[in-house]
Amino acid sequence: MIFRAALIAVCASVLLACATAPEYQRATLDLPVAWKLDAPWRVGQANDTASKGAWWRVFADPTLEALQQQALLNSPTLALAQARLLQARATLAASSASALPQLGLSERVARQKISANRPLSSYSSPNFSTVQNELSVAMTVSYELDLAGRVEQSIAAAQATSGQAAAELENTRLLLGTDLAANYFNLREIDGELEVLERAIAWQRRALDLVQARYELGAASGLDLAQQQALLETTLVQLELLRRQRGQFEHALATLTGVAAPQFSLPPDSRERSAPAVPLGLPSDLLQRRPDIAAAERAMAAANAQIGLANAAFYPSITLGSTQGVDSRELASLFDAPSLLWSFGWSAAQTIFDGGRLRANLEFARGGYDATVANYRRVVLVAMQEVEDGITGLAALRRASLQAATARAAAQRVLEMTSARYDGGLAPYPDLVTAQQALLLSERQSVQLLGQELVTSVFLIKALGGSMPD
């Protein structure tokens, strides 16, 4: 009767704790219904089932494609994220196993001596020292009754952590690809500038030879010769500085693709490129498309489950156990009926006093959940900022590129007219130098704007989560 009363009391107290974890709900955010668009933007239709992988193919660049594939195979950063995902999945498998009964098999073979001076189990029974064999085989079964939800919440936490690791792997893959593409287009922009400078240097060398000849004939002054020489030397300095910057971007590409910098080289390629059109979805689509937002949301779910675990610690832990086996002194009689042994029962553990440790753990878990909610909102707001920056930045760059093309054509006409006037003796040489510098500046500016447009397109694709809705 006492046993039954104790069992009923324990079960009743545990049943009161069946809902120890708060119901998880994603944090609500006040999202805008649309982006602030500027021409030439259009709104695309989000497709959540579309692959978020090879977004870089919209640039139609075979070299970039090869570098991206190499990075996916060799990047140590990506390998680290993959290893963490494997660990998270293994933790989930271990936590899920806690919901099942645990089976065990034990065997014991020993020859032992029992002490004659061991403590008495009965004053009427004398002790004897014996030497004998012990042979036993037993199977044990144990199962934890998850009435307080501890096992359930540990599985929920492991599932959320596994989902977070998967999202972080996707985010690492996205960051790796966008960093590689940005460095690649910066390098190609420098290739374009180098080509402009090399053309300018060739032109300036020819001009220097012409001024040198005119100077020797007395048709040009020493000032004209010095100005042309200074212009050439200044352009050569700019050429060397650009080559240094190109080397730094090349080294960054080597690291991103998992290659040692001294073993990596990328030949120049200054062919004409154009930034692709990047269609936009709705602001709310970011909650489904950006892996960093998904990772932050899964972190909230894991923190919510930790509250359940901390709550479950206030209630008894009950485990059912059973053992069946045989035990004998001799192998011949090990499996006889008298050798049979068994047990069945349950055990319960309940903390009575801990000085407030469990309450502190619960408050810590609640604080951790509040932190993940704040981080989730921060990540979403940063995502909104990045998309808007990309939209306005690309629109401004495209308008500037059109204006730069007009300025370049005008600078070319000015140089041609100034050269003709100088040859006819109608314009001083400083005017010709100024026209050369203006054309060089406008050509470099056009190349720089195109490079910035390509890099900004990459950043916008990254801000949109890597997917490209139609």
206 and 322 co-located in one domain: no
- The answer to whether position 122 is within a domain reads no
Query: Which residue type, as a one-letter code, is found at position 96?
Result: S
At residue 269's C-alpha, the angle toward residues 268 and 273, to 5°, is 150
Kindly report whether the global pTM for this prediction surpasses the value 0.95.
no
Could you tell me if 338 and 190 lie in one domain?
no
Number of domains in the chain: 2
Q: Distance between CA 159 and CA 155 in Å, rounded?
A: 6
In a domain, 121, yes or no: no
320 in the same domain as 270: no
Q: Tell me, what amino acid is at 164?
A: Q
Assess whether 105 and 249 both reside in one domain. no
Contacts of 197 (CB under 8 A, 6+ apart): 235, 238, 239, 242, 440, 444
Q: Are residues 372 and 458 in the same domain?
A: yes
**Would you say residue 3 lies in a domain?**
no
Residues in the chain: 470
313 phi and psi angles, rounded to 5 deg: -70, -15
Instruction: Give the pLDDT score at 28.
Output: 59
What sign does the CA torsion over 258, 262, 264, 266 have? positive
Q: Report the distance separating Cα 161 and Cα 297, nearest Å.
A: 10
SS3 348: strand
Q: What is the 3-state secondary structure (H, E, C) of 109-131?
A: EEEEEECCCCCCCCCCCCCCCEE
Contacts 24+ apart (CB under 8 A), 334-339: 334/135, 334/137
State whether 262 and 379 are in the same domain. Answer: yes
Residue 469 maps to a domain: no
Asked if 371 and 234 sit in the same domain, the reply is: yes
CATH number, domain of 385, equals 1.20.1600.10
Q: Is residue 169 a part of any domain in this protein?
A: yes
Q: What is the CATH number of the domain that holds 329?
A: 2.20.200.10
The type of residue at 202 is A
- What pairing do the DSSP bridges indicate for beta strands 317-328 and 340-349? antiparallel
Q: What is the pLDDT along the chain (470 residues), one digit of tens a residue?
A: 444 544 544 454 444 444 455 666 666 555 554 545 554 444 444 333 344 568 888 888 999 999 999 999 999 999 999 999 999 999 999 888 888 888 999 898 998 888 888 887 777 777 888 888 888 999 999 988 888 888 888 898 999 999 989 989 988 999 999 999 999 999 999 999 999 899 889 888 888 888 888 888 887 788 888 988 998 999 899 999 999 999 999 999 999 999 999 999 999 987 888 888 776 665 666 666 788 888 998 999 999 999 988 998 898 888 899 999 888 888 888 888 888 988 989 888 888 888 899 999 999 999 999 999 999 999 988 988 888 888 888 889 889 989 989 998 999 899 889 888 877 777 787 787 788 888 888 888 988 899 999 999 999 888 888 765 44
Q: Measure the CA–CA gap between 260 and 253, rounded to whole angstroms.
A: 10
Q: Are residues 328 and 402 in the same domain?
A: no
Structural domain of 135: 101-115+129-145+316-349
